[in-house]
């Protein structure tokens, strides 16, 4: 790449258009059944300053399945030169000479953007604090598309820690692009969805409302998007107030429509309290398929980003 060329970064979900999304879905469907060696001789670096199972390993698997290579550190906070006091910018300046793209997860909101300002290769935001997790939102809408064959005319209930959950924020930004979506926010009083997202939905004429009684909403919902209370991002007092308030268990599962779907970005803890047989056999439980879809959508994204 010539120094004057600006790489394309993936920083926030609102940068995608509906057209981009459908193109990615098609590519993901193709690569699912027919993977290519399109990234042979390319390298991604995975630079994770926070823990991850799905995001890091699915990016790494995606790269390997496309014939590419991976370098990285799963605990950059301790195992990179950050521990010696190196700035994020210096780490990125150096890494962008070793890899063709950098996937970064960082505890601070805005860190991926900060990285993109000095990087000469594409930066992919794999989660920045309470900010965004755009590739999670891509796999979420891809899952909705695969499960419902549409992303319109759906009632989507988002449940849990909506104040510090970056996945629900990124998902709202994408859902705001589709027609006749209604979003219902159900959260503990101290962890409500932030005003910036409500303003965005209002600007995009997406209907939304806040409710407190989950069981009343379950029979009307097409999608129940459960989230974990983000213990690591809130005070112990806030955590204690919110913990265990909203749970899907065998009792209220009966209130959910037969053709509805339960999604979750995972990992889940006590907010899903179902026997493993139900989790693996009830077709309404879609979160393991959702995690699998992450692999194919990330293959499609890497292919598009590094081959164009
Ligand atoms: N959904 C998600 O980001 O999972 P990981 O934290 O395991 O990457």
Convert the pLDDT of each residue in 18-32 to its tens digit. 999 999 999 999 999
Residues 204 and 165 in one domain: yes
Residues 97 and 192 in one domain: no
Residues 124 and 107 in one domain: yes
Per residue in 228-272, pLDDT (tens digit) is: 999 999 999 999 999 999 999 999 999 999 999 999 999 999 999
Residues 101 and 91 in one domain: yes
Q: What is the CATH number of the domain that holds 280?
A: 3.40.50.1370
pLDDT of residue 284: 98
3-state helix vs strand vs coil in the chain, percent to 5: 45, 15, 40
Q: What is the pTM of this model?
A: 0.95
pLDDT of residue 5: 61
Verify whether residue 143 is a known catalytic residue: no
* 201, part of any domain: yes
Domain count, the chain: 2
Q: Whose CA is nearest to atom 1 of ligand 1?
A: 265
* 8, part of any domain: no
Domain residues for the domain of 222 are: 134-291
Distance from C-alpha of 177 to C-alpha of 110, rounded to nearest angstrom: 23
Is the minimum distance from the CB of 125 to ligand 1 under 6 angstroms?
no
Report the phi/psi class of residue 306: left, alpha or beta, with left for phi > 0 and alpha for psi in -120 to 50: alpha
Q: Which mutation among 104, 105, 125, 127 tests ligand 1's pocket best, with the greatest number of atoms within 8 A of CB? A: 127
Residues 254 and 238 in one domain: yes
């Amino acid at each position: 790449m010539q120094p004057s060329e600006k790489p394309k970064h993936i920083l926030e979900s609102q940068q995608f258009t509906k057209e981009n999304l459908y193109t990615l879905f098609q590519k993901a469907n193709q690569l699912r059944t027919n993977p290519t060696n399109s990234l042979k001789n390319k390298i991604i670096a995975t630079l994770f300053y926070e823990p991850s199972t799905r995001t890091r390993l699915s990016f790494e698997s995606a790269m390997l399945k496309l014939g590419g290579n991976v370098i990285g550190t799963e605990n950059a906070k301790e195992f990179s030169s950050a521990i010696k006091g190196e700035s994020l910018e210096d780490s990125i300046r150096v890494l962008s000479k070793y890899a063709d793209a950098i996937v970064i997860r960082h505890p601070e909101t805005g860190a991926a953007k900060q990285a993109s300002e000095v990087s000469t290769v594409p930066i992919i935001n794999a989660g920045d604090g309470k900010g965004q997790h755009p590739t999670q939102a891509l796999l979420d809408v891809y899952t909705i598309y695969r499960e419902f064959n549409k992303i319109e005319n759906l009632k989507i209930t988002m449940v849990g820690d909506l104040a510090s959950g970056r996945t629900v924020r990124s998902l709202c930004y994408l859902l705001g692009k589709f027609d006749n979506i209604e979003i219902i926010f159900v959260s503990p009083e101290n962890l409500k969805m932030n005003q910036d997202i409500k303003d965005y939905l209002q600007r995009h004429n997406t209907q939304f409302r806040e409710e407190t009684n989950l069981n009343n909403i379950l029979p009307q919902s097409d999608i129940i998007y459960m989230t974990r209370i983000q213990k690591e991002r809130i005070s112990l007092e806030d955590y204690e107030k919110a913990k265990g308030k909203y749970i899907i268990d065998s009792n209220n599962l009966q209130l959910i429509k037969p053709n509805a779907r339960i999604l979750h970005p995972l990992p889940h803890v006590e907010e899903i309290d179902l026997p493993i047989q139900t989790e693996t056999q009830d077709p309404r439980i879609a979160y393991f398929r959702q995690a699998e879809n992450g692999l194919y959508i990330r293959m499609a994204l890497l292919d598009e980003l590094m081959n164009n």
